[in-house]
Structure 1
């Protein structure tokens, strides 16, 4: 189900925007930066600081995740059933290994692994391509924009996290 483009996108960018549904039916959108491709039909992220998302998933497990290459404006929209694998479950220790390898400084903060069994994978592509934009030109343009933003912010006050 996941093609090479989708796998490389997730592995290179890691940041996925997870959409779950709150109890009152309103959307909950939360960025997660620890995504791992487990196989062709399963991705996951480490629950580090995700109480709202995890609570939503435990009650309403259908979620959507978007990944976008910020430079080319291409991406994937993934939909599936999420499930929470907690530390007391037998599969947790094995599943945790790629998260520890990728983010060793965060290993002690992992509360659970959220696995998503994918049911749908769709491409995301900016309308700029419909107007004749080319991938390399978009990449170059956005790299210049990022450089300009970095220069601008290096001389201003840094925001707090």
Structure 2
């Protein structure tokens, strides 16, 4: 399910958004900045400051993770089942390897949230649907203008 295209978007996204459900049924969405695709069926997210997300996953494993390239305005939504992987778990070091490289000692990773994908869907800005002539370059130029940034 985690194809090469999905993996490319994971790698170039600055944040992902983890949607969880609390024990009382309340939805919660939380940004995560340290995450990676793992093999072809999972995402791994670092628990750096996420006690609410961890608590929710422990009570209800249904999650959704989304990530978007903000300039191209495309990305993916991954639905799945999550579990928490403690540092003491024998799988921790293998799963955490790429995440530890990302944090480079700047943050402590307390545990991991492992998401096994059950469905993957593309996310596309409405311009692509309503204006079929829209190109990725058009979207990039529009985003650069909107955000007031330039490519260096």
Q: Secondary structure of 1:25's partner?
A: coil
Distance in 1 (CA, whole Å) between partners of 2:37 and 2:149 is: 33
2:135 matched to which residue of 1?
A: 134
Distance in 1 (CA, whole Å) between partners of 2:135 and 2:106 is: 38
Q: Secondary structure of 2:116's partner?
A: strand
1:55 matched to which residue of 2?
A: 55
Distance in 2 (CA, whole Å) between partners of 1:72 and 1:105 is: 31
> Paired residues, what number?
148
Structure 1 gap segments, 5+ residues each: 150-161
Q: CA deviation at 1:105?
A: 2.7
CA-atom RMSD in angstroms: 1.5
Runs of at least 4 residues of structure 1 off by over 4 A? none
The structure whose residues are more often helix, as a share, is 1
**8 Å contact 1:71–1:142 — kept in the other structure?**
yes
The TM-score, its normalising length taken from structure 2, stands at: 0.91
**8 Å contact 1:78–1:118 — kept in the other structure?**
yes
Deviations 1:4-39, CA, capped at 9 Å, x for gaps:
221011011141100001122111000001111111
Higher Rg of the two aligned structures: 1
Q: CA deviation at 1:51?
A: 0.3
1:147 matched to which residue of 2?
A: 148
Distance in 1 (CA, whole Å) between partners of 2:19 and 2:145 is: 30
